[in-house]
Structures are given as structure tokens and as C-alpha cells.
Structure 1
Amino acid sequence: MKTTTYKIYSSIAQLPSTWDEVAYENAFLQTHYLKVLEESAPTNMQCFYIGIFKESELIGVALAQYLNLNKLESFGERDKCFKTYIRNFVFRNFGSHALFLGNNMITGQNGYVFNKKIDIKSVGELLNECANEITLYFKKQNIKIHIVSFKDFYQDCSAELKKSAFSKMYEFNTQPNMIFKLLPQWKTNEDYVASFSKKYRDQYKRAHKKFEGIETRELSLDDIISQESRIYELYHHVAKNAPFNTFFLAKNHFSSFKKQCGNGFILVGYFLNKELIGFHTLLLNGITLETYFLGYDEQVQKEKMLYLNMLYNMTKYGIENQFKEIIFGRTALEIKSSIGAEPVVMSGFIYHNNKLIDKYFDKIFPRLEPNLAWQQRHPFK
């Protein structure tokens, strides 16, 4: 640790020339993705890029995001109850300035990567130091960071962090990450469907029957630009009806993504009578296929089982293009398990800069989480 240092950057133009070599294993820390954030991050988000050096050699890169929740139009409109009102009040007044070490826009351990071996204890210490420096940066601008969170660690990492650098922080587990490990014997979509038990094969057939009349096609950059307003309208409908939001995407986010990432970003449109009524997006990250944001017309979704068909289509793409796994993220757990995804627990660590609030965070935080009851499905024979 004595010879390990870090530097925090606020612009992609400032990054060291070897950044992408170090970030090779994770597309979400490479500059083409970071440029998407720089061009089209949510309006309430500011990104920081962290270079970690061994003497003068860049050996690790990380991402931090500041969120001003006061700029949000809504925290989510689906659950209208007293608990939701209290949660919103607490966040507005005691947690509106939040700093995340990691990427709050995607699910998974995508906050840092190293190309040289480094122990997890040192990683935690470095992330802590970076959080303190960014907090001080905002303090000098008369902005007090309320909450600092280190997000999305798999259980082996979180266990080590809990023993060392994050030992005094509150560890939380929100909804699990739904991950679908694709079996190597599935060479075609037909192989996948054949592995269902009768109940879930019937579900697949019923969904496809409902889907008749809808055309799907991958959209080019020009297509996305021409449909940008409609794409955003469909996304925004789904996003604002989520149980909880900390940001809303910028209106140019999807065209910026396609422009910067090219074939690494896929947007598939769903058309009924030549009108765009839904879309889903995919991010290609090595052997992993990551699902991203989607949107749909609520009425068509109900009539055509549109969301379920999107899940089947994303799975088909993963199988046919020989990905090893699909990251489906944290929402709609039960329906995702019905197509084969399984829950993987991920931990985050969090503290409040008000010592009194932080002392009771283990009591406060669980009361702010939306209630979740779901039944895991087991679709295969």
C-alpha cells in the first residue's frame, strides 16, 4: 500500500493513455462506455474516474458517481403508501446528496478492475480514501455529502471487506441480482425450449401466440436518433412506475450509447402496425450479456405479454451468440426466474456522515426498503 497511490479525474480527456488496457476485462470501465456517461449521464449525476497506480504504473481503475436527489422529479410512483411517503421525506431531507463508489446505473461488481494482483483489503482502503477525497471536494463547494455507498459486491468480496476496510459500515442486501447461467449444450433456442418442463413450455408457447403481429428488429444509430423521443417516452413510463429511482436517463442516452459503443450496444425495437410500442437493450461485456433499460406501451404489454417475450428474446440472443451468462438485474424477480434466471445475493456498504444517523443506520435503512415478496420458479425438467 505504501507505493500505491490514486488520482481522481473529472473528465475522460484527462485519463491516462493506458486506461483501456487496465480496464480490458470490464466494458463498463472502458473509455467508450465512460464517454456515454460524460455525454448523457442523468441530469442529477456527476461522474468521477479513479486511476490507481503502483509507483508510476496504472494498475487499476474505478468509477464514482455523485447523485443529487433533490433534482429528481420522482423517486418512483408505483407504491403509493405511507411508508413510501416517509421514505421520500427521509431521502429528500437527510440523504439527498449521495456518493456511490461503483456504478449506480447497472447491476453487478462493475465499480473497479485491476490488471495486477491486489488484495481486497487494500481495494477497500483505496475506495475509502477516494470517497473521503470526493466528499471533501464537495464540502469545498458548500455541498455536504449525506450518504456514501460502496455498491454491488459478490459474497466472497463482501465477506473480506467486512473484516477489514468496511468493518464499521452497515452492510445491506437489496433485491438479488438475477443471473442466468446458459448451459453449454444449448446450441439453439430450440434446445433451450426443449429443456423446459411442460408447464413452462406451455407458458413459452402461450406467450409466443400472444406475440403474433409484432415485428422486432435491431435499430441502427440513425433509427435510434429518429425514434429518440418515442424511445424515451416508453422508457420513462416504465422508469417512473418503478418502486424506487435515484435517477432518470438523459433523453439522448440511447443514441449516445450506440454512437460510442457501436456493436457493443444493441437496441431492439418492437413494432405493432409500424408504431414503436416497446424496446429492450443489451450490453456485450466479454462472455457476459448484460440486459439494460427497456420500455413499453402498458396496454400492449398486457395484451401481448410483451415483457415476457422480451426476456425470451434476450435469452435467445445470448444462446445463439454463445454467451456464458446473462445478467438480468434486480427487477421483476419472479418472472425472470420463470425463464431460468436465478437469484445471486450481492452486498453493498453504506454510511451516513451524520454520526447520530449513522449510529442507527441498521434500524433506519431496512425501513426505507420497498417490501418484496416473490416466489422463485424452477422452469426446467
Structure 2
Amino acid sequence: MDSNFSFQIYSSVHNLPSNWDTLAINNIFLSKDYLNLLEISAPKNMTCHFIGLFIDSELVGIALSQFINLSDVSSFGERDNCIKTKIRNIAFKNLSSNVLVIGNNMLTGQNGYSFSKKLPYQEGLLLLNKVAIELGNEFNKKKSKVHLTIFKDISETEIQHYNIPEFKSYFQFTTQPNMIFHIRDSWNTFDNYIESISKKYRDQYKRARKKADGISKRKLSLEEIKLYNTRIHELYMDVAKNAPFNTFYLPENHFTFFKKSLKDKFLFYGYFIDDHLIGFNTLIKNGDDIDTYFLGYDEKCQREKMLYLNMLYDMIGYSINKGFSQIIFARTALEIKSSVGAKAVTMYGLMKHSNPFINFFISKAFNYFEPKLEWQERNPFK
């Protein structure tokens, strides 16, 4: 690597270079505003660092890392109380509880770094590998030994750049795909979308809307989010604890901070029966994209009212009406998301265990802990 290349690790957004945001112009999730939010409202078991990459003294790359202590979380959720889950939790806590992620573990997609044209891609990756080693050494000194280092959510085109000796000891893996909904140029209104789907899926839409009778939906202001804060957290935890895998839980005031900081770029929708909050979803405007963020709901209402499916239709309607180009629906609930028209996009990751012996067997261990997900892809369009 050219000696002109260097990196700087920052533990506070306050210390970032003044021109940081010029490299975050295409991704809100690398902007100072968003990173500041992470600093003040990240989950308790997560420590964030912000990385500047330089040629001489010129900032040419920015990145995010997250150190996650999984021993603070029941990682495999409360839904599956079987022997395998218990074995997985014990193995995780003893062998893989401290994870260093180069990227953002709270989102789906490549939101971990951005390079200017002056920084060759592979040079940027070599620097980030050095950053991972440096951070590993720092955490080791604090008696928080890094077990796993992960480069997260790499696209099909980007993964080729990692084919260099420095990443040879990393295990390449795929998990659940990112579900992305592309908005066609011919759709000017939500009705155009409904017209483009087949009768079977129009019937699904009508059935969902009929079931949702009696539910009112409204966009919540900062004051209203504060007012419903306890109930919001309760609904979020109801969903989170039933997830098959968790690496963190959001703190109770997380959404308040988001609305306060991101203002109109952060949308919070509450779903009510009478004046009782039964569910919510959140969206973040990211340039031409809409990213779905966290949601929550009352499980009984969700089943009776097809609430989750109705939320998906609402997100699609909003995004079409406001002229966005795509919705990042992220992972989980793959089949229902594909039933409304989202397409699966494969994402890759790279992982390395700090113990060379365990690292040698990491592919076998990964396949045991992460069984292949069976799901049926749908195509709702005519």
C-alpha cells in the first residue's frame, strides 16, 4: 500500500473532519446527522467508531464500525426454545460474543463506507482491513477481545474487489437477501401499481384492506412519539423478541432522537383502533430511496387485521406518490414482501475468527448455526 494512504479512527462525531458530509452526499446513513444519532441512541451493547481514510491529508473515504457484545442479548430470540437454540446461545456467548462489524448492523445494504474517485476501491478495502486489525488491538487492550470480524452486506459487483490476499483468511457467506421494491416509471399513483398486479394479488390487496376496517393510520409528530414512547417500545419489543435472531435491542427513546434529528426525513406512522396504538412503522428518506426502518405491532391485531401486509401496501403507496425510485424492504418476511412485488437481492459478507483453529472450521460452524432458509418467491405482476 502506498505510504500516502492513511486512516484515522474517531470515537465521537464531534471530532470528524469538517468536509465529512461531502463523501456522504449519496447516503444519509453515513452523514454526520445520522452518525450523531448512532452515537447518542445506539443499543447498549454496541460501540460505534467512525473512520476517515486519507491520501496525504485529504479525506478520500469514510466508514463506520460497530463493536457488538452479544453476551448482553439472547441472540436467538425467545420464539425457539429448543436444544439447538440453547447450544447456539452457549456457543455464541463463549466463542463469538464480541463481534466487530465494518458496516451498519442496524440496516440492510452497503451502508458501511464510501470512497471518493481518488481512492482506488481495493486500496480502500486494504485500509479498512488495517482499521479492523487496529480496532481489534484496541478492544483487546480493554479486555474485550474481538472474536469475529465481519465485513457486512457486500453486493454482487463489490464482492469481486475483496478477491485479494488480505481477505483470503475470511470466510465468504450469504444470509437472507435484501428485499428491494423497484418503482416503475409508469406508476404515477398507487392505483397504477394495483392495476399492474394480477387478479390473485388484487384479491389479496382487497382482502387485506377489508380486514383493516376500523384501523386508522396517521403520521406522528415528535410530541406524539414522545407521548406514546412507552407503548411504542412495548410494540417494538413484541416483534423483536419473536425474531429468529437478534444482535441488539433498541433503547426506549430511540425513535424520539431520530425524529428530533432527521425531522421530515424520518417518518413515523402509528396505527390505531379508537385511540389505542396497535402498531407502527418507520421510514427513512435516503436520496431517491426509501429505507424501511423498525416497526412494532400487537401480534393479535396483526393476525386479525393483516396489519403487516397493510403496512407494506401503505409504504408502497407513499413511495410511489412521492416519486421515490425504490424501497429497501430489508431482510425477514421474504415471502410476504415478494407477494407485494419486492425482489430478492443477494448480499455477501466476510467473516474471520480471531482464533485460527476455530477460523479453519468456521464454514462448517456457520452452516450449522445458519441453516438454509426455504421460502417461495412470488410474482404479483401480470
- Using structure 2 for the length normalisation, give the TM-score: 0.98
1:372 matched to 2:373? The reply is yes
- Which position in structure 1 is the counterpart of 2:206? 205
Matches within 5 A, 1:216-255: 216-255=217-256
Mapped to 2, the partners of 1:367 and 1:117 lie a distance apart of 42
1:51 matched to 2:65? The reply is no
The 8 Å contact of residues 99 and 149 in structure 1, kept in 2 or not, is answered as yes
Mapped to 1, the partners of 2:267 and 2:243 lie a distance apart of 23
Task: Name the SS of the counterpart of 1:155 in structure 2.
Answer: coil
- Which position in structure 2 is the counterpart of 1:307? 308
Distance apart, 1:58 and its partner CA: 1.0
Mapped to 1, the partners of 2:30 and 2:165 lie a distance apart of 25
Mapped to 2, the partners of 1:100 and 1:28 lie a distance apart of 15
The 8 Å contact of residues 178 and 331 in structure 2, kept in 1 or not, is answered as yes
- Which position in structure 2 is the counterpart of 1:88? 89
The 8 Å contact of residues 43 and 248 in structure 2, kept in 1 or not, is answered as yes
Task: Name the SS of the counterpart of 1:113 in structure 2.
Answer: strand
- Which position in structure 1 is the counterpart of 2:28? 27
Mapped to 2, the partners of 1:339 and 1:163 lie a distance apart of 39
- Which position in structure 1 is the counterpart of 2:185? 184
Mapped to 2, the partners of 1:74 and 1:139 lie a distance apart of 23
Moved more, 324-333 or 363-372: 363-372
The 8 Å contact of residues 120 and 157 in structure 1, kept in 2 or not, is answered as no
The 8 Å contact of residues 61 and 124 in structure 2, kept in 1 or not, is answered as no
Distance apart, 1:370 and its partner CA: 4.6
- Which position in structure 2 is the counterpart of 1:8? 9
CA offsets, 1:113-171, max 9 Å, x none?
12334333212211110000101111111221101000000011112213454222100
CA offsets, 1:320-361, max 9 Å, x none?
111111100110000000000010000000000011000111
The 8 Å contact of residues 9 and 15 in structure 1, kept in 2 or not, is answered as yes
User: Between the two proteins, what is the percent identity of the paired residues?
Assistant: 52
Task: Name the SS of the counterpart of 2:163 in structure 1.
Answer: helix
- Which position in structure 2 is the counterpart of 1:138? 139
Distance apart, 1:74 and its partner CA: 4.9
CA offsets, 1:167-211, max 9 Å, x none?
221001000000011101000000000101000000000000111
Mapped to 2, the partners of 1:71 and 1:159 lie a distance apart of 35
AA aligned to 1:4 is F
Mapped to 1, the partners of 2:214 and 2:371 lie a distance apart of 37
AA aligned to 2:199 is K
Matches within 5 A, 1:307-346: 307-346=308-347
Mapped to 1, the partners of 2:226 and 2:77 lie a distance apart of 27
Mapped to 2, the partners of 1:275 and 1:193 lie a distance apart of 30
AA aligned to 1:202 is D
Aligned length: 381
The 8 Å contact of residues 23 and 114 in structure 1, kept in 2 or not, is answered as no
Task: Name the SS of the counterpart of 2:101 in structure 1.
Answer: strand
The 8 Å contact of residues 146 and 353 in structure 1, kept in 2 or not, is answered as yes
Runs of at least 5 residues in structure 2 that lack an aligned partner in the other structure: none
- Which position in structure 2 is the counterpart of 1:277? 278
Mapped to 2, the partners of 1:40 and 1:93 lie a distance apart of 27
AA aligned to 1:201 is R
- Using structure 1 for the length normalisation, give the TM-score: 0.98
Distance apart, 1:81 and its partner CA: 2.5
Mapped to 2, the partners of 1:63 and 1:248 lie a distance apart of 19
Distance apart, 1:295 and its partner CA: 0.3
- Which position in structure 2 is the counterpart of 1:98? 99
Mapped to 1, the partners of 2:272 and 2:120 lie a distance apart of 50
Distance apart, 1:88 and its partner CA: 1.1
AA aligned to 1:125 is L
1:17 matched to 2:18? The reply is yes
The 8 Å contact of residues 115 and 124 in structure 2, kept in 1 or not, is answered as no
CA offsets, 1:49-91, max 9 Å, x none?
0011111111111000000111114531222322222211111
Moved more, 119-128 or 209-218: 119-128
Mapped to 2, the partners of 1:327 and 1:265 lie a distance apart of 14
Mapped to 2, the partners of 1:117 and 1:322 lie a distance apart of 32
Runs of at least 5 residues in structure 1 that lack an aligned partner in the other structure: none
| Runs of 4+ with >4 A deviation | none
